Amino acid sequence: MKEIYRYVDEHQKEYLELLRKFLKQPSISTSGVGMSEMVLLLKNTLKDMSFSVEEIKTDGYPIIYGVLSGKGKRTLSFYNHYDVQPVDPIDEWEVGPFSGTIKNGMIISRGSADNKGQLLSRLCAIDAYQKVYGNLPINIKVIYEGEEEIGSPHLADFRQLYPDKLATDGIVWEGGERETNGPAHITLGVKGLLYVELRVRTANIDAHSCNAPIWPNAVWRMVWVLNTLKNEKDEVLIEGFYDSVKPLSNKDKYHLKNIPYDEEEILSKMGMKGFINNVTGEQLVEKYLYTPTCNICGIKGGYVEKGSKTVLPAYAIAKLDFRLVPEMKGEQIIKLLRKHLDKHGFSDVEIITIASQPTYRTNYDNPLVNAAIAASKEVYRFPPVVYPTDPGTMGAYHFCNDTGIPCVMYGVSNMFSQIHAPNENIYVEDYILGIKMSASVIDKFARHY
Amino acid sequence: MKEIYRYVDEHQKEYLELLRKFLKQPSISTSGVGMSEMVLLLKNTLKDMSFSVEEIKTDGYPIIYGVLSGKGKRTLSFYNHYDVQPVDPIDEWEVGPFSGTIKNGMIISRGSADNKGQLLSRLCAIDAYQKVYGNLPINIKVIYEGEEEIGSPHLADFRQLYPDKLATDGIVWEGGERETNGPAHITLGVKGLLYVELRVRTANIDAHSCNAPIWPNAVWRMVWVLNTLKNEKDEVLIEGFYDSVKPLSNKDKYHLKNIPYDEEEILSKMGMKGFINNVTGEQLVEKYLYTPTCNICGIKGGYVEKGSKTVLPAYAIAKLDFRLVPEMKGEQIIKLLRKHLDKHGFSDVEIITIASQPTYRTNYDNPLVNAAIAASKEVYRFPPVVYPTDPGTMGAYHFCNDTGIPCVMYGVSNMFSQIHAPNENIYVEDYILGIKMSASVIDKFARHY
């Protein structure tokens, strides 16, 4: 590996320039700006690196699929996306959002962290491997989506239509973070998500609030509905909600101890007085990663502008998201919720399902995980922080849920990378380390770690 | 009185034309459209009817004050307003909103019911009285406000600055309704109003909902706050809230029996399944008029647009109005609410007072009430429906709260007059009856009924 690490160091400039070229090309899937140019640049880059490339059409933006054969039998896939978020609020950018600016050791541009820096660190690793050794020790597949920032509407189709293209021995997903000057994070799964909207209607139209003594109020009803779902102790009161939550394994407990969480910095940055139930330490991280949630994302009903309007609201909505842990299923939670509402006299309350995404976890003892841990130790000189699951939900479940394909996430960003926000950035150092990391993962995965 | 009734019938056309002239003159206080022209028309009309007129300047639109001396010692005042609501949504008007259209026995125009029809029915009564008898049996004062539709910001100043102009033996307030082809309503008071906004903040900014297992959520907190305020049985749980509510008197009970409430029509029109607690009949009307409320006018927090955003809201607001019955005081309710929130662990919840208006009730046994009841029987040929209080809150408290001045409300509109809405209207017949009614009230008030 030393030859590769040296090669990467010597070709830093070239790999940085390639990233800047990608960053200077806007590719906003929400508006369509620059998407076709980006597709062309991406395909040409892959071809330059000897990939055989296919542009897979969808009803939206294409999936760019590339294959590169190696010596060994194993196949490793990389999932990334070539689209980026819009740049609003533009006034808050210190540099042009598509300038590819490098300043104070940072690469500042829309897409640097999410997801072009991640994408290119992996491609450059493949390039370096070829340049140094002439060929790769395993087969590589890359799957580059152009619609991640608009909800991946065609990823499920891809799995359905192209089982052969999906077939692989492991996937490295989108990206990941590194602690400042410290270890890398390796994440082995995602939480599931159930997103619903509750709707309460008590009359055709809003009325004058002088009728409040005798006419029903939709907002009051919504308050009473929600109050039955979770209490102030943060206990979800839906019968059966926690039934399929499994206790932590010894491995879970082992890794938990190593997961950092800077409580004071987070409380001070967010202006919060404390965490729910004043939990701290290891228990806090356990709650963060291992408990399912019932969260109100939004609520609205009646008059909410400035000043006063004396109105009796006829309609109220609340948006809830449930983050699920294995083995919870979205469909099952909807059933439990319906039963709960009916039982509490709220059978008139409508439940609209907006999204349902399964959980996914890769086993700890897995050749890909082993390779990633070993590579991480070697490249970052620290044992990695292993997250059994991301606290959020990512598209990895599309490919990995019930296919048995192992999946890991790691990458070149950090907790201050301002993903989706102005001045999105990564460190130059982390980009270069990321190239080495992927090269090392390929190497170790080939050696059957 | 027969001469006056005959005179009014003979001069119907003239009185209708005067109303149409007022209706054709826009006077929207929100935008200022037509206000100065309206002031001029109003002053000239008063002068034509022999009033001595004063234009009392305010920081907004002037109060037009007129005095007309009569034979007797008693003074009767009329409060009305010359401003109207805006006309939006303009597309829903079947006629021009300032066309003064008369169609199928109805006068359709912005201001017909609220408040020019009411204002002119009273002025025309005074005119008819003078034309028939040469002079009035009592002194008349008229107080015409130009800012009722924007919250009467200068009415309290008027009371403060001009105690002599306010001095009177009774006031006829703004307006009132008549049952379709039936009795008139005579209303003797208003409920008080306390309007507050509750604010909950749990962090500086919204966060990703993946933090929901451990970070506080402002909307959940608001739900729990509100849930402590009122239960599903419609009982307000703020300690001491009902302490000053007085039981109904025998007179209250007597009048209660005569107050109509078409439950089926209201349920069907509003698309409601039933009234709160399924109360019906006399109990329903009692609850409507005699109980104080804690009503949520609006609630908002987090993401409430289409689709999904997985967010953890840091801020939530709720707007509440409390309708108060005698002897409840807004300041006292705020204190009780603060104490309640503190007691329940919600001392972080902010209470912003937006409006506080006292209750007001005129005694049943009062020369002005007696005169209005007698006049109503004579003119409408039915005993009136006597409301001890309006279910809402009107500016009458400005002049009558703790001054001892009796106040009644009656007028020319009906429950389908579309006040504040497109196609606002009154019946021509009700306008003419309204003129006779006010003439009769003057007559009977002079005779010490």
Nearest one of B138, B142, B127, B137 to B50, comparing CA atoms = B127
Mutation for A interface: B30, B190, B229, B299, most A CBs within 10 A: B299
Task: Tell me: pLDDT of B33 over 90.
Answer: yes
Cβ–Cβ < 8 Å for A399, A78 = no
Say whether B183 sits in a helix, a strand or coil.
Answer: coil
**pLDDT the model gives residue B401:** 85
**CA distance, residue A305 to nearest chain B CA (Å):** 9
The size of the A-B interface in CB pairs under 8 A is: 226
In angstroms, the CA B45 to CA B268 distance is: 44
- In the chain, the amino acid numbered A50 is S
**pLDDT the model gives residue B107:** 98
β-pairing, A63-68 vs A52-56, is: antiparallel
Note the ipTM here: 0.91
pLDDT digits (tens, 9 = 90+) for A88-99: 889 999 999 999
Say whether A203 sits in a helix, a strand or coil.
Answer: coil
* Whether A311 and B302 lie within 8 Å, measured CB to CB: no
Task: Tell me: pLDDT of A401 over 90.
Answer: no
Nearest one of A200, A64, A178 to A119, comparing CA atoms = A64
Q: Which residue has the tokens 């109503």?
A: B376
- In the chain, the amino acid numbered B425 is N
Contacts of A226 in chain B (CB under 8 A): 220, 223
| H helical segments located in A175-323 | 218-227, 250-256, 263-270, 281-290
Cβ–Cβ < 8 Å for B280, B331 = no
**pLDDT the model gives residue A8:** 98
What is the mean pLDDT of the segment spanning A57-65? 97
Contacts of B215 in chain A (CB under 8 A): 270, 272, 275-276
Contacts of B313 in chain A (CB under 8 A): 296-298
The 10 Å CB-count burial string (b at 16+, else e) for A108-141 is bbbbbbbbbbbbbbbbbbbbbbeebeeebbbbbb
Cβ–Cβ < 8 Å for B411, B419 = no
β-pairing, A360-361 vs A189-190, is: antiparallel
Contacts of A287 in chain B (CB under 8 A): 213-214
**The three-state (H, E, C) secondary structure of A134-187, written as one string:** CCCCCEEEEEEECCHHHCCCCHHHHHHHCHHHHCCCCEEECCCEECCCCCEEEE
Q: What is the end-to-end Cα distance of chain B in Å, rounded?
A: 15
Distances (CA, A) of A31 to A26, A39, A264, A397: 11, 15, 39, 26
Task: Tell me: pLDDT of A396 over 80.
Answer: yes
β-pairing, B75-81 vs B171-173, is: parallel
DSSP label at residue B150: G
Task: Tell me: pLDDT of A397 over 90.
Answer: no
Q: Which residue has the tokens 């990467």?
A: A8
Measured over the CA atoms of residue B385, residue B419, residue B98 and residue B33, the dihedral's sign is positive
Say whether A233 sits in a helix, a strand or coil.
Answer: coil
Distances (CA, A) of B375 to A83, A325, B119, B379, B442: 78, 75, 18, 6, 9
What are the helix and strand counts (H, E) for chain A? 14, 19
Q: Which residue has the tokens 């009329």?
A: B78
Cβ–Cβ < 8 Å for B196, B352 = yes
Listed in sequence order, the residues at least 6 apart from B368 whose beta carbon sits closer than 8 Å to its beta carbon are B76, B169, B170, B172, B362, B406, B407, B408, B445
* Whether A209 and B307 lie within 8 Å, measured CB to CB: no
DSSP A379-433: HHSSPPEEESS-SS--THHHHHTTT---EEE--SB-TTS-TTSTT-EEEHHHHHH
Distances (CA, A) of A254 to A114, A282, A371, A387: 30, 11, 19, 11
pLDDT digits (tens, 9 = 90+) for A293-314: 999 999 999 999 988 889 999 9
**pLDDT the model gives residue B445:** 97
User: Could you give the percent of chain B with pLDDT greater than 70?
Assistant: 100
Look up the pTM and report it: 0.91
**CA distance, residue A143 to nearest chain B CA (Å):** 26
Mean pLDDT is lowest, of A390-404, B21-35, B104-118, for: A390-404
In angstroms, the CA A140 to CA A438 distance is: 12
**pLDDT the model gives residue B242:** 98
In angstroms, the CA A391 to CA A289 distance is: 5
Contacts of B319 in chain A (CB under 8 A): 302-304, 308-309
Listed in sequence order, the residues at least 6 apart from B18 whose beta carbon sits closer than 8 Å to its beta carbon are B45, B120, B124
β-pairing, B360-361 vs B189-190, is: antiparallel
DSSP B191-222: -EEEEEEEEEE-SSS-EEGGGTTTS--HHHHH
pLDDT digits (tens, 9 = 90+) for B328-358: 999 999 999 999 999 999 999 999 999 999 9
Of B209, B272, B274, the CB nearest to A295: B209
* Whether A210 and B316 lie within 8 Å, measured CB to CB: no
Distances (CA, A) of B396 to B79, B178, B278: 9, 20, 32
Nearest one of A78, A79, A75, A80 to A164, comparing CA atoms = A75
| H helical segments located in B364-410 | 367-380, 396-400
In angstroms, the CA A207 to CA A223 distance is: 19
Listed in sequence order, the residues at least 6 apart from B115 whose beta carbon sits closer than 8 Å to its beta carbon are B80, B81, B82, B84, B148, B174, B175
Q: Which residue has the tokens 């039998």?
A: A73
Nearest one of B425, B434, B323, B449 to B99, comparing CA atoms = B425
- The residues with which B290 forms a beta bridge, in sequence order, are none
**pLDDT the model gives residue A198:** 98
- The residues with which A76 forms a beta bridge, in sequence order, are A140
In angstroms, the CA B69 to CA B260 distance is: 39
Position B126 confidence tier, pLDDT thresholds 50, 70, 90: very high
Listed in sequence order, the residues at least 6 apart from B245 whose beta carbon sits closer than 8 Å to its beta carbon are B290, B291, B292, B325, B328
Say whether A211 sits in a helix, a strand or coil.
Answer: helix
pLDDT digits (tens, 9 = 90+) for B238-278: 999 999 999 999 999 999 999 999 999 999 999 999 999 99
Cβ–Cβ < 8 Å for A84, A110 = yes
Of A191, A208, A392, the CB nearest to B392: A208
pLDDT digits (tens, 9 = 90+) for B347-405: 999 999 999 999 999 999 999 999 999 999 999 999 999 999 999 998 888 899 888 99
**The three-state (H, E, C) secondary structure of B216-233, written as one string:** CCHHHHHHHHHHCCECCC
Position B88 confidence tier, pLDDT thresholds 50, 70, 90: confident
pLDDT digits (tens, 9 = 90+) for A233-292: 999 999 999 999 999 999 999 999 999 999 999 999 999 999 999 999 999 999 999 999
* Whether B275 and A214 lie within 8 Å, measured CB to CB: yes
Cβ–Cβ < 8 Å for B142, B77 = yes
Task: Tell me: pLDDT of B449 over 80.
Answer: no
Cβ–Cβ < 8 Å for B325, B359 = yes
Q: Is the peptide bond before B174 cis (omega within 30 degrees of 0)?
A: no
Listed in sequence order, the residues at least 6 apart from B315 whose beta carbon sits closer than 8 Å to its beta carbon are B199, B200, B201, B202, B206, B218, B301
What is the mean pLDDT of the segment spanning A394-401? 88
In angstroms, the CA A124 to CA A120 distance is: 6
In angstroms, the CA B302 to CA A400 distance is: 32
Cβ–Cβ < 8 Å for B350, B199 = yes
Measured over the CA atoms of residue A36, residue A40, residue A41 and residue A46, the dihedral's sign is positive
Contacts of A295 in chain B (CB under 8 A): 209, 212, 217, 220, 312
pLDDT digits (tens, 9 = 90+) for B140-163: 999 999 999 988 999 999 999 999
In angstroms, the CA B62 to CA B77 distance is: 18
**pLDDT the model gives residue B298:** 97
Contacts of A216 in chain B (CB under 8 A): 272-276
* Whether A323 and B212 lie within 8 Å, measured CB to CB: yes
Position A394 confidence tier, pLDDT thresholds 50, 70, 90: confident
The 10 Å CB-count burial string (b at 16+, else e) for A25-60 is bbbbbeeeebbeebbebbbebbeebebebbebebeb
**pLDDT the model gives residue B448:** 79
**pLDDT the model gives residue A244:** 94
